[in-house]
Structure 1
Amino acid sequence: MDSAHRHLFARLERFYDAVPRDAARPEEHGALVLFVRDGDGWPFYARPRLDATEPPSLADVNVVRERQRELGQPETFEWVHETTPELLATARAAGLSVLEAPLLVLDPSTLPDPATLTDVRLRMLAPDAPGFALDVAARRAVAAVGFSAAGTARSEAGPAQRDAALTELDVAALDEERARIADGRRLSAVAETPAEGVLASGMAMRVGDVAEIAGVATLPAARRRGLAAAVTATLARALLDAGTDLVFLSAGSEEIARVYLRVGFRRIGTACIAEPTALI
């Protein structure tokens, strides 16, 4: 690995380590750090410690899994293969299934104008907008429906299933969303039509000049209309305009990665996500 790639992967490691620290407390277990969220909210993962001098051992993985079970937290581990290649075999030896997800970074010079990708309205969520609570709920509902039918194929699930998945957010969750969008740590975007409502959505998490686009999803009935690509490009453009100079994402499969390749991303490596086999 040349020095430029080492520097790039080091920036990604610092980002992965920083993102959970706003909402979770770190617990160090050998060469791993487990991020523990107290209270409600999306549970975090364990990943290699930034300052570890050795790769995580099988004993480290087993200790963390026991702690995750004790906390009622998913037994999830995340890492970048190019940075911690030894962990792939260790995780499998522990009985975990590993998703090897294409890891891509944006080449800003090849990012298209989002408006050229679709005729559907594209919109960034604003924390002071009157409909902000409904916007956030719709973004989450679209993700829930979209990720329940993985891949890019069309199917019947559409606005009716999205509306059935809508849940009201509590005050604390909305305040967190507002605060993070207001200070630039989180961005959210949707694609919508007046008749159908929100059809696709996505978000980005930002720490300084590095950001990850995540949670890009399209209702299965609305797929093959360029909406995921348009939402991704909208988020990427907003991040660049905010001064972000490294934008990256992980794709759930090679098929999904092709969506992002079309809007200026290129593959640099593999992001690994490990879970117990029964949960895959």
Structure 2
Amino acid sequence: MTDDIRSLLDRLEHFYDALPRDVAHPEEYGGLTLFVRDGAGWSFYARPRHGAPEPPSAADVLAVRERQRELGLPEAFEWVHDLTPELLPVARSAGLSVLQAPLMVLDPAALPDLAAVTKVPVRILDPAAETFPADLAVRRAVATVGFGAAGTTVGDAGPAARDAALVEIAPAMLAEERSRGLAGLRVSALAESPERGALAGGMAMRVGDVAEIAGVATLPAARRRGLGAAVTVALARRLLDDGVEVVFLSAASDDVAQVYARVGFRRVGTACIAEPGAVTA
């Protein structure tokens, strides 16, 4: 690993550690930190403890899993393999399955113009707009349908499936999304056809000058039209315009990574995502 890559991965590790701390408190278990959300909302992961002198042990993993079960939380662990390679065999020995996802960083000079990717309009959601609750619910419905049929294969699920997946967002979660959006810490986008409505969506989370693009999904019926790539380009452009220096993401597979590579992202490492029953790659 070169010094430049090590420095870059250290910035990403700082991001992962800092991201949950506004809404969650850390609990330390040896070489691991479990982030426990204060109040309702999405549950967070356990990660290698930032600055720990020793890598996590099997006993640390088992202690965190016991605590997650006690709290009713998903038994989820995430880490950068290149920085903590010892955790992969430990996680597997503790009964977890591990997805090894390409970890990719944007080369800003290689980011294409949105018009070169798709003709479908992509809209950045306005957290101050009256339509924001409905827009956010649609983005999440697109993600539910898209991730329910993982991969890049064209399928049958389209706008009807999206509409069936719509769920009203809880007030506390909506307030958090709106406040973070107004503060420039979260950005959401939708690719929308005038005839069929939202076909793809995604979001980004920011800490300082580093941001992660996540949750990019396309309705299976609308795949292979560059919509996921277009949402990624629109989010990345907004982040760069807002002063972000490092834009990164984790691709769900090598096939998905090729989509991101075509719009300026390059692989710099491997992100590991572990949980009981996860797909091993």
TM-score normalised by the shorter chain: which range applies?
Answer: over 0.9
State the Cα deviation string for residues 57-95 of structure 1 (Å, max 9, x = none). Answer: 000000000000000001110000000000001001111
Compute the displacement of 1:179 (Å). 0.7
* Corresponding position of 2:156: 156
| Distance in structure 2 (CA, Å) of the matches to 1:90 and 1:104 | 25
Q: Tell me the residue number matched to 1:116.
A: 116
Q: Which amino acid aligns with 2:197?
A: G
Structure-1 separation of matches of 2:277 and 2:169: 31
Distance between the aligned counterparts of 1:94 and 1:116, measured in 2?
47
Matches within 5 A, 1:150-229: 150-229=150-229
Q: 3-state SS of the aligned residue for 1:277?
A: coil
Pair 1:3 & 2:6 matched: no
Structure 1 residues 278 and 153, CA, compared in 2 at 3 Å: closer, same or farther? closer
User: AA paired with 1:270?
Assistant: T
Give secondary structure in 2 for the equivalent of 1:212: strand
Mapped to 2, the partners of 1:230 and 1:152 lie a distance apart of 15
Partner of 1:138: 138
Residue 7 of structure 1: SS of its match in structure 2? helix
- CA deviation profile, 1:84-125 (whole Å, cap 9, x unmatched): 000001001111100000000000000001122111111000
Change (3 A) 1:277 1:174: closer
| Distance in structure 2 (CA, Å) of the matches to 1:6 and 1:131 | 42
1:57 to 2:32 alignment: no
* Distance (whole Å) between structure 2 residues aligned to residue 157 and residue 14 of structure 1: 38
Structure 1 stretch displaced more, 171-180 or 184-193: 171-180
Structure 1: runs of 5 or more not aligned: none
Moved more, 112-121 or 145-154: 112-121
1:277/1:173 Cα in 2 relative to 1: closer, same or farther (>3 Å)?
closer
Count, aligned residues: 280
Structure 2 Cα separation of the partners of residues 33 and 150 of structure 1 = 29
Distance 1:115 1:182 in 2: 27
Which letter maps to 1:262? R
* Residue 172 of structure 1: how far off its partner (Å): 1.7
Q: Which amino acid aligns with 1:244?
A: V
Measure the CA separation in 1 of the matches of 2:172 and 2:71: 22
Offset, 1:2: 2.2
Check the 8 A contact 2:199/2:218 in 1, yes or no.
yes
Matches within 5 A, 1:75-90: 75-90=75-90
Per-residue deviation at 1:26?
0.7
> How far apart are 1:278 and its partner, in Å?
6.8
Q: Specify the alignment match of 1:126 in structure 2.
A: 126
Aligned amino acid, residue 48 of structure 2: P
The residue identity in structure 2 corresponding to 1:238 is: R
Indicate the RMSD between aligned Cα atoms, in angstroms: 1.1
Secondary structure of 1:168's partner?
Answer: coil
Q: Distance in 2 between matches of 1:279 and 1:169?
A: 29
Match of residue 31 from structure 1: 31
Counting only pairs closer than 5 Å after superposition, residues 89-108 of structure 1 correspond to structure 2 as 89-108=89-108
Cα distance in 1, alignment partners of residues 2 and 197 from structure 2: 47
- Structure-2 separation of matches of 1:165 and 1:158: 11
Structure 1 partner of 2:262: 262
CA contact (8 A) 1:149 1:220 kept: yes
- Residue 82 of structure 2 corresponds to residue 45 of structure 1: no
- Provide TM-score, normalisation by structure 2: 0.98
Distance 2:94 2:205 in 1: 30
1:243 maps to what in 2? 243
Q: Work out whether residues 95 and 277 of structure 1, in 8 Å CA contact, stay in contact via their aligned partners in 2.
A: no
Q: CA deviation at 1:279?
A: 8.1
Post-superposition CA distance 1:153-207 (Å, at most 9, x none): 0111011111111011122221111111111100101100121111100000000
Determine what percentage of the aligned residue pairs are the same residue.
Answer: 68
Measure, in 2, the Cα distance between the counterparts of 1:133 and 1:175. 10
Looking at structure 1, the residues matched to 5 and 260 of structure 2 have their Cα atoms a distance apart, in angstroms, of 20
Write the deviation string for residues 184-240 of structure 1: whole angstroms up to 9, x where unpaired.
Answer: 100101100121111100000000100000000000011011000000000000000
Give the drift of 1:18: 0.6
The alpha-carbon deviation at position 128 of structure 1 amounts to 1.6
